[in-house]
Amino acid sequence: MSDTPGEPTLHYDGSTPYEDYVRAEVLTHLQRPLSKDPGEMAFLVTTQVMELWFTVIVHEWRTAADALRGDDLPRALEALRRSGYELSALNASWEPLAHLTPGQFNAYRAALGEGSGFQSAMYRRMEFLLGEKSAAMLVPHRGTPKVHDELAKALHEPGLYDEALAYLSRHGDRPLPAEVLGRDFSARYEPHPEVEAAWQRVYAAGDGPLQRLGEALTEVAELVWRWRNDHLVATRRAMGGKTGTAGSAGVAWLEKRAAKNVFPELWTARSHV
């Protein structure tokens, strides 16, 4: 009880209810900088914040995929809408790192060792849900069986777009071909002319449930593209064209990623409406 009416309660037998729910003590003591440079703390915290956003976005996209599988379009659209706000917050996470000079980044870059963002298991789950499947990306996680098994399961499951196309096939004016609906889900999604034609018809028909689904997915795709470009620009500014950590091609690899459209037929169909 509060000591004074209208004032907040101050006395608890153990930890506060806020701490019990948020686990702030855990979160705020996860940082272990490995250099003496004061800028490393911002890099470390920003990266950890990104991991938290990856986690909630994966949750939203899995919710949306499950809802589409169950023909619950309103629930799917609500999850996609939330993920848009979360993607915007994720993209804003680049701000503390977006203006690093090469000297500032080099002051603690060695602390990363072989560490690289492409090793993030939760980010890989995001990519798998977007249709960017690759069995090779499981290899870095062989030393952590639980993580490896979760990724292997996600590799073989339909992605968010796969569930959207299955919904489109069931509720559109004609079914999509078997090679689209029954494709090997462990392979990277490749565009198909019949899918482009289906989205073209959806948009030509005007506003309706299927167009609202298309626009929700397009919003996700655009925000993912912005994420990739923000990553590219921040990296280019901090390290130029040098080889990335863990031997990646650095900026060249990120440029290739940024050039790819997520949910490709939603973009190409617009040229024919």
The HSE-up count of residue 106 (CA atoms within 13 Å, CB side) is 7
Identity of the amino acid at 151: L
29 is written with which tokens? 């003591």
- Whether residue 160 contacts residue 198, with contact meaning beta carbons closer than 8 Å, is answered with no
Q: What are the helix (H) ranges across the chain?
A: 17-22, 24-27, 40-69, 73-92, 102-109, 121-129, 145-156, 160-171, 178-181, 193-204, 209-239, 251-258, 264-268
The amino acid present at 42, given as its one-letter code, is: A
> Side-chain half-sphere of 1: how many Cα atoms within 13 Å?
3
| Distance of alpha carbon 243 from alpha carbon 253, whole angstroms | 10
Q: Which two tokens stand for residue 246?
A: 């863990």
Q: What is the dihedral of CA 266, 269, 270, 272, to 10 degrees?
A: 180
Give all strands (DSSP E) within the chain, no chain letters: none
In 3D, which of 217, 218, 227 has the Cα closest to residue 91?
A: 227
47 is in an annotated binding site: no
Using alpha carbons only, give the angle 34, 37, 43 rounded to the nearest 5 degrees: 70
Tell me whether residue 141 is annotated as binding.
Answer: no
At 88, is the secondary structure helix, strand, or coil? helix
Q: Tell whether 62 is in a known binding site.
A: no
**Residues that constitute the known binding site for substrate:** 109, 245
**Residues that constitute the known binding site:** 109, 231, 245
**Residues that constitute the known binding site for heme:** 231
